[in-house]
Structure 1
Amino acid sequence: MQYEPIVLGIVRIMTGLLFLEHGAQKFLSFPPGDYAGSGWAFSQLGAYAGPIELICGFLVAIGWFTRPAAFLASGTMAVGYFYQHMPKDFWPVNNMGDAAILYCFIFLYFVFRGPGALSIDGDTRAIVASSD
């Protein structure tokens, strides 16, 4: 369990960067794709998730205000799943909601567990735990 805080930090960073990518595509048109620039229209509910994806993804990735950012991101993904995915089909594999569910629960885990190592928040428990 010596490396658990470091692995937690790496998972947090990767999750934050992947989440940030969704917001960046909607508002910065990068990376290019089907949804590039779609956030500016604010014509659909998903566009309102873009700023949360962009900001909370960044905060989670760098480990700053991790718990509140993860809480907001988790709730956003729960709402997104029930409004955008579940009405299409009950099964996540058929409604393309797998990622929303995974994001929701991993962000919820970060709310309770904290940022781990490699964070600006400086989780002191991670430092103590890794020195054992």
Structure 2
Amino acid sequence: MTAPQLEAIWAPRMRSVLRIMAALIFFAHGTAKILGFPTSDGMPDPFTMGWTAGVLELVGGALLALGLFTRSVAFVLPGQMAVAYFIAHAPHSFYPALNGGDAAILYCFVFLYLVFAGPGPWSVDALRNPRAHANV
């Protein structure tokens, strides 16, 4: 099998793997904030910025892991990550490695990629509309 053939077969599948893994780790942030699992410093008060972030992480992470409404969810989450970076991380230092914001930046760009690239073949979106995802 040639390199282009391998790429044609595996690139969409690996996009699904990237989506699933990023979503599951993102989801874990939501479970910690909203459900107190596996650990929590205390849950944020309802309808505060921290609570809203936790709900977006919980619901958005679950939907992305399933690959359901992927492009729509992935359109919202980069904005959340940009806000999180500039409010919670950037004031502490200019450098992401020092301010702890490197994950927020990475999530922002992974989710932005998914807006344009789509969920990959291993997704509920692909099951719901196979023709739209036939060569994606």
TM-score normalised per structure 1: 0.87
- Mapped pair 1:109 → 2:113: yes
Q: Matched residues in 2 for 1:14 and 1:97: separation?
A: 19
Query: Is 2:90 aligned against 1:90?
Result: no
Taking a change above 3 Å as real, the CA distance of residues 43 and 88 of structure 1, as seen in their structure-2 partners, is: farther
Aligned partner letter, 2:67: G
Q: CA deviation at 1:124?
A: 4.2
Which is greater in Rg?
A: 2
Which residue does 2:10 correspond to in 1? 3
The aligned amino acid for 2:84 is G
Q: Which has the higher contact order (CA 8 A, sep 6+)?
A: 1
**CA distance in 1: counterparts of 2:66 and 2:116, whole angstroms:** 17
1:30 match: secondary structure: coil
Aligned residues: 126
How many angstroms apart in 2 are the aligned matches of 1:88 and 1:44?
21
Identical columns (%): 45
- CA drift of 1:47 comes to 2.9
**Alpha-carbon distance in 2 for matches of 1:57, 1:108:** 14
Amino acid at match of 1:38: M
Alignment partners' CA distance in 2, 1:68 and 1:101: 19
Kept in 2, the 8 Å contact 1:62–1:120? The answer is: yes
1:17 aligns to what?
24
Shift of 1:27: 1.0
Q: Secondary structure at the match of 2:124?
A: coil
Question: 57, 61, 67: which one pairs with 1:57?
Answer: 61
In the aligned structure 2, how far is the partner of 1:116 from the partner of 1:80?
Answer: 27
Unpaired segments ≥5 residues, structure 2? 1-6
CA contact (8 A) 2:31 2:58 kept: yes
Q: Is the contact between residue 34 and residue 51 of structure 2 (CA under 8 Å) also seen in structure 1? A: no
Letter in 2 for 1:16: A
**Coordinate RMSD, CA, aligned:** 1.8
SS in 1 for 2:120: coil
The residue identity in structure 1 corresponding to 2:16 is: G
